[in-house]
Amino acid sequence: MIARLCIENAPADRLFDYAVPAALEGRVTIGSRVKVPFQRRAATGFVVELPETSPFAGKLRPIASVDDPSPMILPPLVALARWMSGYYLAPLGKCLETLLPAPVRTGNTREKTLLYVEQTGREDQPLTPRQRELLENIARVGGGWLGQICKEFSCSPETLKKLAALGAVTIEERQARRDPLRRGRILPTQPLALNQEQAAALASIVAALCAATGRAAPLESGGASAPASSAPASGGASAPSLRVSESGGASAPGLRVSESGGASAPSLRNAGAPRPLLLFGVTGSGKTEVYLQAIAAALERGLGAIVLVPEISLTPQTVQRFASRFGDRIAVLHSALSNGERYDEWQRIRKGEARVVVGPRSAIFAPIEHLGLIVVDEEHEPSYKQEESPRYNARDLAVMRAHIEGCAIVLGSATPALESWNNARSGKYTLLHLPRRAGEGVEMPFVHIIDMAQENAREGRANVFSKELITAIGERLERSEQVILFLNRRGYSTSLTCPSCGYVETCPRCDIPYTYHRADSCLRCHICGGWTRIPEKCPGCGAPEFRYSGVGTQRVEQIVRRCFPSAKVARMDADSTSRKESHDDILDAFKAGRTDILVGTQMIAKGLHFPRVTLVGIVNADSSLNIPDFRAGERTFQLLAQVSGRTGRGAIPGEVFVQTFSPEHPAVKMARTENYEGFVDIELPQRLALGYPPFTHLTCVTVAGPDERLTGVLAGRLRAALCAASDRAAPPASGGASAPGLRATERGGARAPSVRVSEVCPAALAKADGIYRFQIVLRATSAMRTNAIVKAALAAVPVEAPFRVTVDVDAFSF
C-alpha cells in the first residue's frame, strides 16, 4: 500500500510517496496525519491520496507512525483543500493547515478536566447533620462540578473530600466542556407556520436534501498527479482542479473551473450533486426561518448542516436563534472563542455530538460527516473573502464543498452578489424568491433621496447635513423615537471628489474612479494602471478644490451634538469600540433607549433589531459609490437596502434619508424601493460591456519589496513574463475565443490575448512599513487560465527574498 503525502515544511506543491507498513494498513487513510522520515529529519505529513502505484515503487521509505486514532481531516475536506490550492494558487500544505483551527492543529490545547462530585448512595460511617444536609443537596441536583457545588451550597472542598472519605460521594476528574454559548438559559422555539413563498422555498431545499440522502455518487478520481518520491524527485505534483462541465449540465456548480491547472491534475466529478439554490428574499422576508426548518429536515434524515454567517452579524441574537431551535446539537466556531472553547467545539463536531455548525467563513471547514446542507447567509458579503493566503472566498468554497459532498447548498441574500445572480440567470443555480416581508403588517420603510448638489447650490455652501434631514431628526427627538446616522467606513475613501457638486474623475477605459496617490500626487486607475493629473478646477462646476469624499464619524458626531445639544449621542466605529466602551455596551445603551442618536459605520448596518428606530440617515451615499471599485454600485445598493432594512422593524413605520450627489445613479434610485432586479438589469449589461465579473475573473498580482526602484523593476519583468505567457496561450485570432465584452484595451495586438494584463501600478497601499507595493491586474474568462499564466511567469522570473509576490484570485480590492 502506498500513501501520497503533503509534508510540512517541504517544498510547496510537491507530494511525496511513502510505503505503508503492513502494521499500519487500516490506520492510514486519506486525511491521516503521519510521521515520516524526510531527507535527514523526521517530518509530519497528511495523506492526500492512496495511489495504486508509484513511479518510485520499490524505493519508497515507510511511514513511521500514525498520529491520531481517526484521521484529522475528512476525505471531502482533503479534496476541498486540493481544489483550493489549485484555484487560489496557495501551497497545499497551507490549505490543509487552514482546515484545522490552531488549538487543534498545534496540539497545545488539551481537553479540560475538572473534579466532579456525585453521591454514591451509601455511607460507611454516620454523618453529622451538616454533612447530611449537604449530601441531600448534592443528591437533589444529581451531582455537579466541585467548584459549583462549593459555591451553590456554601461549603469548602475539604468538606466534600471528607464526604468522599466517608464513602458518601465520589470525586473524580471528568472532561469539562468549555461552552461558548453558556447553555441553559436558552428558551426553545417552535417552527413558525410558513407563508406560501417560504413553504415553496423550503420544499425545494428539502428536495435537494433528499437527493443528498440518496446520494450514491462517490467521488470519481481521474488521472493521478505526478508525485515525487521521498528522495529528490523529477516531477513536482501540480495542483489539482475539479473538472466541471461548463456546458450547463444540471449538476454543474457556478464556479468556472473547467480548465485543469496542468496536464497532470486529477479531476473530481460528482454527477449526483444537487444544483445550488439561491434564496433571494428581501430583508425581513423570513429567510432565517426557512434555514431553521431546512436544518431540522436535514437532522431528521441523519444529515448535518453548516450555516455560514458574516463575522459582523454573528451576534448573540443570531446564535440564539439557532441555539433556541437546536439546543445542544449546535456548535459555534468563531474568532472570539478562547482556544479551549474552539478546541472543544471542534471536537464535538468531529465526534458527531454537534451536527449543526454556525460560524463565519472558516466554519466551511467544520469536520461534519454526512453533511446534508450548507447555508451561506448574506452570501454577497465581502467578509467571506479571506484577505491572507489562502485568499479564498468561503461562499465559493461552500459551493465546491457541497459539490464534493453531493449535498444541498442554499445561498441566501436580499441583494445577491452579481456572480450568484448571473449563475441563477444562466440556470446553474435555482432561484427561490421571497418577495415580501414575513411579519404581519410590517411595511418596507419610505426612502427619501436628497440631492446634495441642489442643497449646496441653494445654501451657497457645502453642508454635511441637509435641512430636510435636520428637520426630520428634530421631529424624532420630540417624539422620543430613535435615529441612526450612517457613514461609510472612516478612511475608506481614496478618490477625490468636488465638495460642491460631487464630481469624480473617472478612468474612461474602466469606468471606475481614479485613486489618488499622494506620493506623486497623481490619479491612477487600479484596474488598467492608467494615470492622469488632478484637474486644476472641477470640470463639473468649476470649483477650485478636490477632496476626499465624505466626512468622518467623529465630525458627524460633533455636528449632531451642536445641532441637538440636549440629545444623547453615541458613536460606534473602529475607534470608539476599541476605547473604553465596547461594541455591546454602546448597543445595549441604544437598545435600552438611553441613547437617542447613534452615529456609526458598517458596524451598525446589519443584524440588529431596534423597534424604536424610525429614522435612518445615510449621510453620504457617495462615499460608497465613489470607491475605486467596479463593484461600488453593487456595494452601495447592498448597503442602502440593508440599512433601510434596519428601520420599521417595529410597529412604527420607518423612514430613510439618503444624502447623495448622484440621485439618478441606479444603485441609489433602485435601492429606494429595494428593487434589486431593476438594479441588476442596468448593472449586468455594463459589467458585460466593460468586461468585469461576473463575466470575467480578475486576479491581482502584488509585488512587494524594500526598495522602490528594484521592486518596480521586478514588477515590470514579471509583467513582461505575464504578457509573454498570455501571448503563447492566446488562441489564433480567428478562434473567437475571447469573451463578449472583452476588448483588448489594455494591450494592442492582432490576437486577442487569453488573459489581459494591466500596466504596473503602485498598489493602493503603495508603501507601508518600508515596503513598497506594485500591482498588476489580470483578467480572463477563466481564473484557471490566468493561474496557468501566473505559474509560467513565476517560473520564468524567480522571486527571491526580500521580494515577495502575492496572488489574489477573484480579488475584492485593488
Site residues, Zn ion (CB under 5 A): 507, 509-510, 525, 527-528, 530
Residue closer to ligand ADP, measured from CB, 6 or 444: 444
Question: What's the CA gap between 426 and 420, in Å, rounded?
Answer: 10
Smallest gap from Cβ 201 to ligand ADP, in A, equals 11
Question: Which residues in 412-441 contact ligand ADP (CB under 6 A)?
Answer: 438-439
241 binds, among Zn ion, ligand ADP, none (CB under 5 to 8 A by kind): none
Q: How far is the CB of 530 from Zn ion (least distance, A)?
A: 5
Triad 39, 45, 46: Cα angle to 5°: 150
**Smallest distance from the beta carbon of 651 to ligand ADP, in angstroms?**
13
* CB of residue 638 to Zn ion, shortest distance in Å: 24
Q: Judged by CB, which is closer to Zn ion: 510, or 783?
A: 510
650 or 716: CB nearest ligand ADP:
650
Instruction: State how far Cα 329 lies from the chain centre.
Output: 23
Residues 467-506 that bind ligand ADP (CB under 6 A): none
Residues 266-285 that bind ligand ADP (CB under 6 A): 281, 283-285
Q: How far is the CB of 748 from Zn ion (least distance, A)?
A: 16
**Which one of Zn ion, ligand ADP, none is in contact with 192 (Cβ closer than 5 to 8 A by kind)?**
ligand ADP
- Cis preceding-peptide flag for 316 (omega within 30 of 0): no
**Using CA atoms, how far apart are residues 293 and 373, in angstroms rounded to an integer?**
12
Question: Considering only residues 289, 379, 683, 759, which one is a binding residue for ligand ADP as defined by CB under 6 A?
Answer: 289
Cell of 505: 474623475
Among 801, 770, 800, 805, smallest CA distance to 790 is for 805
**DSSP 8-state code for residue 641:** H
Of 291 and 486, CB closest to ligand ADP: 291
507 makes contact, choosing from Zn ion, ligand ADP, none, with CB < 5 to 8 Å by partner type, with: Zn ion
Select from Zn ion, ligand ADP, none the partner in contact with residue 528, using the beta carbon and a kind-dependent cut-off of 5 to 8 Å.
Zn ion
Report in angstroms how near the CB of residue 187 gets to ligand ADP at its nearest: 14
Question: In 115-182, where does DSSP find H-type helix?
Answer: 129-141, 146-152, 157-165
Nearer to ligand ADP, 410 or 805 (CB): 410
Among all chains, which residue has been given the C-alpha cell 483543500?
81
Rg (CA), the chain: 29
Q: Compare residues 528 and 670 and give the one whose CB is closer to Zn ion.
A: 528
Nearer to ligand ADP, 228 or 438 (CB): 438
Residue 19 interaction partner, one of ligand ADP, Zn ion, none, beta carbon < 5-8 Å per kind: none
Cβ 433 vs Cβ 414: under 8 Å: no
Asked if 288 is part of the footprint of ligand ADP (rule: CB under 6 A), the reply reads yes
How many CB atoms are located within 10 Å of the residue 70 CB?
Answer: 12
Across the beta sheet with 169-176, what order do the strands follow? 144-145, 112-119, 169-176
What is the CA 304 to chain-centroid distance, rounded?
21
Q: Which residues 56-85 are close enough to bind ligand ADP by CB under 6 A?
A: none
* Distance of closest approach, residue 585 Cβ to ligand ADP, in angstroms: 25
Residue 655 binds which of ligand ADP, Zn ion, none (CB < 5-8 A, kind-dependent): none
89 or 512, CB closer to Zn ion? 512
Query: Least distance from C-beta 383 to Zn ion, angstroms?
Result: 27
* Minimum separation from the CB atom of position 755 to Zn ion (A): 17
Q: How far apart are CA 673 and CA 122, in angstroms?
A: 72
Of 228 and 309, nearer to ligand ADP (C-beta) is 309
Size of the residue set binding ligand ADP (CB under 6 A): 15
User: Minimum Å distance from CB 321 to ligand ADP?
Assistant: 8
Closest CB to ligand ADP among residues 645, 666? 645
Residue pair 456/304 in contact (Cβ under 8 Å)? The answer is no
Say whether residue 213 binds ligand ADP (CB under 6 A). no
439 or 685, CB closer to ligand ADP? 439
N-to-C CA span, the chain:
48
Q: Which is nearer to Zn ion, 508 or 685 (CB)?
A: 508
The verdict on 696 binding ligand ADP (CB under 6 A) reads: no
User: In this structure, are residues 417 and 399 in contact, taking their beta carbons and an 8 Å threshold?
Assistant: no
Spell 176-202 as b/e; 16+ CB within 10 A means b. Answer: bbbebbeeeebeeeeeeebeebbeebb
> Residue 398: in which H helix or E strand, if any?
helix 394-405
- Cell 426548518 locates to 293
Alpha helices for 503-621 (secondary structure H):
553-563, 574-578, 583-591
d(CA 212, CA 233): 41
Q: From the list Zn ion, ligand ADP, none, which binds 525 (C-beta under 5 to 8 Å, kind-based)?
A: Zn ion
Least Å distance between CB 646 and ligand ADP? 11
Question: Smallest distance from the beta carbon of 448 to ligand ADP, in angstroms?
Answer: 23
Instruction: Name the minimum Å distance from CB 194 to ligand ADP.
Output: 5
Tell me the C-alpha distance between 351 and 349, whole Å. 5
**CA–CA–CA angle 313, 316, 317 (5° rounding):** 80
Comparing CB distances to ligand ADP, the nearer of 438 and 551 is 438
DSSP count for the chain of H helices, then E strands? 23, 34
* Shorter beta-carbon distance to Zn ion: residue 567 or 744: 744
Q: Which stretch binds ligand ADP (CB under 6 A): 194-202, 270-278, 563-571, 770-778?
A: 194-202
Kindly provide the b/e burial profile for residues 711-749, where b requires at least 16 CB atoms within 10 angstroms of the residue's own CB.
Answer: bbebbbbbbebbbebbbebbeeeeeeebeebbeeebeee
Q: Which does 510 bind (CB under 5 to 8 A by kind): Zn ion, ligand ADP, none?
A: Zn ion
Out of 54, 131, 198, 422, which residue is the one contacting ligand ADP (CB under 6 A)? 198
726 binds, among ligand ADP, Zn ion, none (CB under 5 to 8 A by kind): none
515 binds ligand ADP (CB under 6 A): no
808 beta partners: 700
Q: In the sheet where 430-434 sits, what is the strand order?
A: 330-332, 356-359, 304-308, 371-377, 408-413, 277-281, 430-434
Among 195, 315, 320, 675, binds ligand ADP (CB under 6 A): 195
What are the residues binding ligand ADP (CB under 6 A)? 192-195, 198, 281, 283-289, 438-439
